[in-house]
Structure 1
Amino acid sequence: MPVEVILPKVDMDMATGRISRWYVGEGATVKKGDLLFEIETDKAAMEIDAPASGTIRDISGKEGIDIPVGEAVAWIYAEGEATKPAKDAVADATPVQEVVPAAAAPVAAAPAALPELAPANPGKPSNGTRATPLARRLAAAAGLQLDAIAGSGPRGRVMRSDVETAIAAPAPAASVPAKPAPIVSRPSASSQPRPAPQRSAGAAPLNFAWLRQGEGRPIVLIHGFGADLNSWRPMLAAGPVDAPLLALDLPGHGGSPRQTPADLDAIACDVEATLAALDVGPALLVGHSFGGAVAATVAARGHADVRALALIAPAGLGPEINGAFLQGFVRAKSEASLTPWLRLLVADEAVLSKPFVNATLAQAADAELRAAQAEISDRFFADGTQTFDIRGLLAALRMPVRVIVGANDRIIPASQSLGLPGEVALHVFAATGHMPQVERREQVLKILLEMVRV
Structure 2
Amino acid sequence: MPVEVILPKVDMDMATGRISRWYVGEGATVKKGDLLFEIETDKAAMEIDAPASGTIRDISGKEGIDIPVGEAVAWIYAEGEATAAKPTQEAPARPIALNETAPAAAATANVPEVVSAKAVNATPSNGTRATPLARRLAAGAGLALDAIAGSGPKGRIMRRDVESAMTAPKVEVKAALWPDQIISRPPASSQPRPAPQLSAGAAPLNFAWLRQGEGRPIVLLHGFGADLNSWRPMLAAGPVDAPMLALDLPGHGGSPRQTPADLDAVAVDVEATLAALDVGPVLLVGHSFGGAVAATVAARGDADVRALALIAPAGLGPEINGAFLQGFVRAKSEASLMPWLRQLVVDEQVLSKPFVNATLAQAADTELRTAQADIADRFFADGTQTFDIRSLITGLRIPVRVIVGANDRIIPASQSQGLPGEVALHTFAATGHMPHVERREQVLKILLEMARA
Same fold (TM over 0.5): yes
Any idea what SS the aligned residue of 2:418 has? coil
Any idea what SS the aligned residue of 2:274 has? helix
Residue in structure 2 matched with residue 189 of structure 1 by the alignment:
none
Any idea what SS the aligned residue of 2:239 has? coil
Distance of aligned partners of 1:232 and 1:391 in 2 relative to their CA distance in 1, 3 Å threshold: same
Residue in structure 2 matched with residue 380 of structure 1 by the alignment:
379
Residue in structure 1 matched with residue 356 of structure 2 by the alignment:
357
Residue in structure 1 matched with residue 173 of structure 2 by the alignment:
172
Q: Would the aligned equivalents of 1:7 and 1:72 in 2 still touch at CA under 8 Å?
A: yes
Residue in structure 2 matched with residue 162 of structure 1 by the alignment:
161
Kindly provide the amino acid, as one letter, of the partner of residue 315 in structure 1: A
Residue in structure 1 matched with residue 452 of structure 2 by the alignment:
453
CA positional deviation for 1:24:
4.8
Q: Would the aligned equivalents of 2:23 and 2:354 in 1 still touch at CA under 8 Å?
A: no
Distance of aligned partners of 1:15 and 1:222 in 2 relative to their CA distance in 1, 3 Å threshold: closer
CA positional deviation for 1:35:
4.3
Q: 1:136-171 CA deviation, whole Å, 9 max, x = no partner?
A: 554565566766643212222332212222333533
Q: 1:24-72 CA deviation, whole Å, 9 max, x = no partner?
A: 555x14142554443344322314236213x444556676455555x76
CA positional deviation for 1:440:
2.9
Residue in structure 1 matched with residue 96 of structure 2 by the alignment:
none
Task: Find the aligned partners of 1:62 and 1:202 in 2 and give their Cα distance.
Answer: 33
CA positional deviation for 1:392:
1.8
CA positional deviation for 1:17:
6.3
How many residue pairs get matched? 409
Residue in structure 2 matched with residue 32 of structure 1 by the alignment:
31
Give the stretch that moved more between structures: 377-386 or 136-145: 136-145
Any idea what SS the aligned residue of 1:308 has? strand
Residue in structure 1 matched with residue 256 of structure 2 by the alignment:
257
Q: 1:371-416 CA deviation, whole Å, 9 max, x = no partner?
A: 1111111221122222222222211211110111223322222222
Task: Find the aligned partners of 2:448 and 2:256 in 1 and give their Cα distance.
Answer: 31
Q: 1:233-264 CA deviation, whole Å, 9 max, x = no partner?
A: 33334323334x33322222223332222322
Kindly provide the amino acid, as one letter, of the partner of residue 176 in structure 1: W
Residue in structure 1 matched with residue 300 of structure 2 by the alignment:
301
CA positional deviation for 1:311:
0.6
Residue in structure 1 matched with residue 101 of structure 2 by the alignment:
none
Kindly provide the amino acid, as one letter, of the partner of residue 124 in structure 2: N
Mapped pair 1:241 → 2:241: yes
CA positional deviation for 1:228:
1.8
Any idea what SS the aligned residue of 2:3 has? strand
CA positional deviation for 1:298:
1.9
Task: Find the aligned partners of 1:428 and 1:10 in 2 and give their Cα distance.
Answer: 34
Kindly provide the amino acid, as one letter, of the partner of residue 394 in structure 2: A
CA positional deviation for 1:287:
1.0
CA positional deviation for 1:325:
1.4
Distance of aligned partners of 1:118 and 1:433 in 2 relative to their CA distance in 1, 3 Å threshold: farther
Residue in structure 2 matched with residue 414 of structure 1 by the alignment:
413
Distance of aligned partners of 1:309 and 1:52 in 2 relative to their CA distance in 1, 3 Å threshold: same
Q: Would the aligned equivalents of 1:264 and 1:297 in 2 still touch at CA under 8 Å?
A: yes
Distance of aligned partners of 1:75 and 1:270 in 2 relative to their CA distance in 1, 3 Å threshold: closer
Mapped pair 1:127 → 2:129: no
Distance of aligned partners of 1:148 and 1:45 in 2 relative to their CA distance in 1, 3 Å threshold: farther
Gaps of 5+ in 2: 90-104, 189-198
Kindly provide the amino acid, as one letter, of the partner of residue 249 in structure 1: D
Give the stretch that moved more between structures: 422-431 or 440-449: 440-449
Taking structure 2 as the reference length, the TM-score comes to: 0.77
Residue in structure 2 matched with residue 92 of structure 1 by the alignment:
none
Residue in structure 2 matched with residue 76 of structure 1 by the alignment:
76
Kindly provide the amino acid, as one letter, of the partner of residue 241 in structure 1: D
Task: Find the aligned partners of 1:375 and 1:443 in 2 and give their Cα distance.
Answer: 34
Give the stretch that moved more between structures: 318-327 or 394-403: 318-327
Task: Find the aligned partners of 2:386 and 2:351 in 1 and give their Cα distance.
Answer: 29
Mapped pair 1:86 → 2:110: no
Distance of aligned partners of 1:166 and 1:82 in 2 relative to their CA distance in 1, 3 Å threshold: closer
Kindly provide the amino acid, as one letter, of the partner of residue 127 in structure 1: P
Task: Find the aligned partners of 1:249 and 1:51 in 2 and give their Cα distance.
Answer: 36
Taking structure 1 as the reference length, the TM-score comes to: 0.76
Distance of aligned partners of 1:161 and 1:327 in 2 relative to their CA distance in 1, 3 Å threshold: same
Higher relative CO (Cα under 8 Å, sequence separation at least 6) belongs to 1
Aligned runs of 1:336-347 on 2, under 5 Å?
A: 336-347=335-346
CA positional deviation for 1:290:
0.4
Give the stretch that moved more between structures: 59-68 or 259-268: 59-68
Gaps of 5+ in 1: 90-115, 185-199
Give the stretch that moved more between structures: 13-22 or 422-431: 13-22
Task: Find the aligned partners of 2:256 and 2:354 in 1 and give their Cα distance.
Answer: 25
Aligned runs of 1:51-450 on 2, under 5 Å?
A: 51-53=52-54, 55-57=55-57, 64=65, 66-68=67-69, 74-87=74-87, 119-120=108-109, 124=120, 127=124, 131-132=130-131, 134-135=133-134, 138-139=137-138, 142=141, 149-169=148-168, 170-174=171-175, 175-178=177-180, 203-212=202-211, 215-237=214-236, 238-243=238-243, 245-450=244-449
Taking only aligned residues, the RMSD between alpha carbons, in angstroms, comes to: 3.7
